[in-house]
Amino acid sequence: MKHANSFVDYTTDELKGILLLAEKIKQHPDDYSHILDGKKLYTLFEKTSNRTYLSFSIGMEELGGKAYNQLWKDSNFTIGDLMSEVKYVCRNVDCIMGRFKKAETTEGFMKNATVPVINGCDNTFHPTQALADMLTLYEKTGHFEAKVLYIGAKNNTYNSLSEIVTKMGGMMYGLTPFSQVTNVPADFYDKLTATGHYKELPTDISKEELKKVVADVDCVYTDTWVDMEFFTNPDYAEKKNQIINMMMPYQIDAALMEGTDTMVFHDMPIHPGYEITQDVMEKHLETILDEAENRRHAEKGLLVYLITGKLDW
């Protein structure tokens, strides 16, 4: 039995297998509409969600299974012992997807569960977003060795994207003036650098140098500068303003993209006027929506793999 959290626990072949299965299911949905007949997925949300909620619910239904969705605040996880509650949930379902504020909670689920647990985005990792991003890059470029330039906050999305791009043999460039508290192991970024497939760009990089990287990569990627659990939190308002001031010079705008056919990716929700300008968002929206739709397709490949333990379907 396997969980889905850091891609350190996955081989390159395994990731390719999941993505190729996802693509097969996407192309031939009717052939896979009963593959998870009778299987049950429990999803639990401590944070807000659109894509994670819809993609797992509908994805599970399209595979013949069923999803049972609950908000953390309505659950007895708020008042009970985590270990025994997790073990109880596992008596009922075949897989768990949890979106939690803290990685400790995700890890608590993974340690105690007797069914596979998928991290649906905590403060450290966002693996299902990275699978969807890689599926989209594969569809658009025809290969897995993608070159990506991420400009934004060093956060959960960045960590998982960096893991998958390096693991697939591509090239990940990061320009991340601000870091969220993601609590990755101290050597996390050093290990990525040691692969030779990961490079952090200096924050004082000139516009000319940056434009050369933009022209060289397959896609420029950005994410919200402020994570969802802080976005409307009044206690975080001052910090939010500091982050915006620090990040504004690194906004993805038309001048940065001008003269290139480089794609723009965003994991959504988008904040036009902050991490990306309105015009760049509108120009690249179809690509961004392809990427968002691929959450469901990538997750279907992952669910089939984790629940059946097989990739050769």
Q: Is 311 among the residues that bind ligand CIR (CB under 6 A)?
A: no
User: By the 8 A CB rule, do 149 and 221 touch?
Assistant: yes
User: Among residue numbers 28 through 87, which ones bind ligand CIR (CB under 6 A)?
Assistant: 51-52
Cβ 121 to ligand CIR shortest distance, Å: 5
The verdict on whether omega for the bond into residue 202 sits within 30 degrees of 0, i.e. cis, is: no
Q: How far apart are CA 313 and CA 241, in angstroms?
A: 49
Secondary structure of 107-172 in HEC code, one letter for each residue: HHHHHHCCCCEEECCCCCCCHHHHHHHHHHHHHHHCCCCCEEEEECCECHHHHHHHHHHHHCCCEE
Q: Is 276 among the residues that bind ligand CIR (CB under 6 A)?
A: no
User: Among residue numbers 207 through 236, which ones bind ligand CIR (CB under 6 A)?
Assistant: 223-224, 227-228
Binding window for ligand CIR (CB under 6 A); candidates: 83-91, 155-163, 182-190, 233-241: 155-163
Q: Is 133 among the residues that bind ligand CIR (CB under 6 A)?
A: no
Q: Where are the extended beta strands (E) located within 188-243?
A: 198-200, 219-222
Of the residues 94, 267, 291, 299, which one makes contact with ligand CIR according to CB under 6 A: 267
Nearer to ligand CIR, 121 or 168 (CB): 121
Nearer to ligand CIR, 138 or 225 (CB): 225
Nearer to ligand CIR, 180 or 277 (CB): 180
For helices 103-112 and 82-90, what crossing angle results, to 10°?
A: 50
Amino acid at the residue 286: E
Nearer to ligand CIR, 43 or 129 (CB): 129
Query: What Cα–Cα distance (Å) separates residue 169 from each residue in 147, 180, 302?
Result: 9, 26, 20
Binding window for ligand CIR (CB under 6 A); candidates: 4-12, 18-26, 153-161, 211-219: 153-161
Q: Is 155 among the residues that bind ligand CIR (CB under 6 A)?
A: yes
**Chain residues that interact with ligand CIR, rule: CB under 6 A:** 51-52, 121, 126, 129, 155-157, 223-224, 227-228, 267-268
